[in-house]
């Protein structure tokens, strides 16, 4: 795409904010930062739906999950999944679909139709566990445009506008939010070529990791992804993303915001102590 040189005058305080965007990874320099900001401001696209995966049994979090579903475990006085709802509301994504299963009635009882949280919540119910991809088959008729999806056990403070803009620029079928961790050998590590995800290497030996970036459990997806999801229980990580990676249609978005996994009691304790909420 051709570009034209432009000279502008800007306040010093605003320029400092522009310069803070430059990370030499996603934003190369001051000029690129201004282009990114203009692209966000002029974009007419908006995300209509977000899907929150809240149907798992949370076996690693027992005994807590004998009595409450994992997405409802409290983090600083609010259910874990409420923090995701608040992030979506902040970015004006107000049509939210909960995929529920185990103890789903407790989730419905607390959130209802979402009105007291400033959003509209509907539910799909998994009669048996369908994994991280299978639930999408239950709402094929509603997924007619770009949508967001969250794993129900993560806390992430991510700029959703920038995330979606990045996805649109690359024109992929799926974009995975990637976060850096000190010890990536405990996770599935992203192997990248530029912004393209080539594969995830599961729990590589320490010192042999392709990167320190892991799947943060937040996705931007296109409706076409439904073609790649088999019937019944299916996992994004094993059944869908590898197919997209081979076709060069899977991208990774590296973000620096807060991120916490709550999959184990140790990780949950860390999240409770350090999570700063949706700013």
Catalytic residues: 203
Which tokens go with 113? 């139709």
Report the half-sphere exposure of 59 (CA within 13 A, side-chain side): 1
Give 131's contacts (C-beta < 8 A, 6+ positions apart).
Answer: 233, 234, 235, 236, 239
Which tokens go with 234? 């299916």
Give residue for tokens 């869908």. Answer: 240
| Cβ atoms 229, 138 nearer than 8 A | no
Q: Quick one: angle between helices 160-170 and 80-90, nearest 10?
A: 70
Task: Reduce the DSSP state of residue 223 to 3 states and report it.
Answer: helix
């Amino acid at each position: 795409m051709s570009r034209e040189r432009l000279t502008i005058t800007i306040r010093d305080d605003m320029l400092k904010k522009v310069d803070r965007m430059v990370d030499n990874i996603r934003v190369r320099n001051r000029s690129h930062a201004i282009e990114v900001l203009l692209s966000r401001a002029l974009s007419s696209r908006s995300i209509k739906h977000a899907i929150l995966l809240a149907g798992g049994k949370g076996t690693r979090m027992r005994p807590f999950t004998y009595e409450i579903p994992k997405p409802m475990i409290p983090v600083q006085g609010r259910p874990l999944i409420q923090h995701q709802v608040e992030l979506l509301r902040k970015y004006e994504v107000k049509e939210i679909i909960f995929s529920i299963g185990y103890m789903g009635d407790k989730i419905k009882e607390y959130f209802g139709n979402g009105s007291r949280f400033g959003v509209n919540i509907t539910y799909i119910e998994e009669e048996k566990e369908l994994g991280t991809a299978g639930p999408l088959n239950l709402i094929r008729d509603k997924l007619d445009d770009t949508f967001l999806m969250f794993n129900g056990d993560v806390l992430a403070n991510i700029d959703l506008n920038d995330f979606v803009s990045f996805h649109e620029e690359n024109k992929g079928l799926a974009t995975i939010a990637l976060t850096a961790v000190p010890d990536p050998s405990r996770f599935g590590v992203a192997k990248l070529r530029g912004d393209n995800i080539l594969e995830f290497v599961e729990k590589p030996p320490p010192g042999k990791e392709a990167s320190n970036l892991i799947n943060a459990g937040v996705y931007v997806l296109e409706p076409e992804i439904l073609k790649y999801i088999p019937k019944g229980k299916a996992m994004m990580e094993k059944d869908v993303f590898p197919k997209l990676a081979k076709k060069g249609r899977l991208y990774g978005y590296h973000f620096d915001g807060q991120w916490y996994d709550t999959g184990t009691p140790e990780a949950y304790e860390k999240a409770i102590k350090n999570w700063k909420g949706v700013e």
